[in-house]
Amino acid sequence: MTTENRTAVVTGAGRGIGRAIAEALGSRGITVVCVSKNISSCSAAAEAINTSGGKAKALAVDVSSGAEVSKACAALIEEFKNVDILVNNAGITRDGLLLRMSEDDWQSVIQTNLSSCYFWMKGLIQPMLRKRWGRIVNIASVSGITGLPGQINYSAAKAGMIGLTKAAAKEFASRSITVNAVAPGFIKTDMTSNMSEGETANEVLSRIPLKRFGEPGEIASLVTYLCADEAGYITGQVFTVDGGMVM
């Protein structure tokens, strides 16, 4: 699989799915910029890649801030000349029923999960357009396809990512830049740790034909393929990795 001599930016790379994606890309010879709001977490991810023989650097950015992302993109382009791969994975949850949800809980999730994709794509797309090659993968969620009660903000943000993916894929296709989305189901991460056992887990597992939670590496494997030359005829698609929840 062709991936060498390329540079990737992975947001939310400090833990869970983002870290698994960063490490998978790094293991294939890609220079990975591990982005996280927390410098210690993205530094740990970058160190793990470097220790394994790859090439990575850490970059602390608040992805919900357009100004911070714009500054980071300019610095990355100056350093690397272009970024070939962008994986928008950063995300947060602020769950609650609509009637009880504060405006801050709504805005923070929309800004971090959805607006951040717009910020990074706008900041890094020009060199991809000039090079006529690029890969953008947005990590959405089955919540954005089916909607989940108690996750109005999260579901809306992830559904927005899917719409953004499809529109951008059409805008950039003439320059051989692909834009796809991966929609995980219930994956073993910090975000799902509170439902890994007991009645909640049993209720969730009853909706999953494969009867288990997924592993971060199972998301990373698909993302890695979508970032390769071999996936050059795939764009504008949404891939669910959910054990069969959405069929």
Q: What positions carry a catalytic annotation?
A: 154
CA dist 166 → 7, 96, 108 (Å): 23, 28, 24
Alpha-carbon 218 to chain mean position: 14
Query: Which pair of tokens denotes residue 189?
Result: 């991460």
Q: Are 84 and 3 in contact (CB under 8 A)?
A: no
The three-state secondary structure class of 214 is strand
* Cα–Cα distance, 154 to 44 (Å, whole number): 27
| C-alpha R_g of the chain | 17
Query: Which pair of tokens denotes residue 198?
Result: 């007991």
What one-character-per-residue DSSP string does 145-204 give? HH--TTBHHHHHHHHHHHHHHHHHHHHHGGGTEEEEEEEE-SBSSGGGGGGSSHHHHHHH
Q: Are 25 and 32 in contact (CB under 8 A)?
A: yes
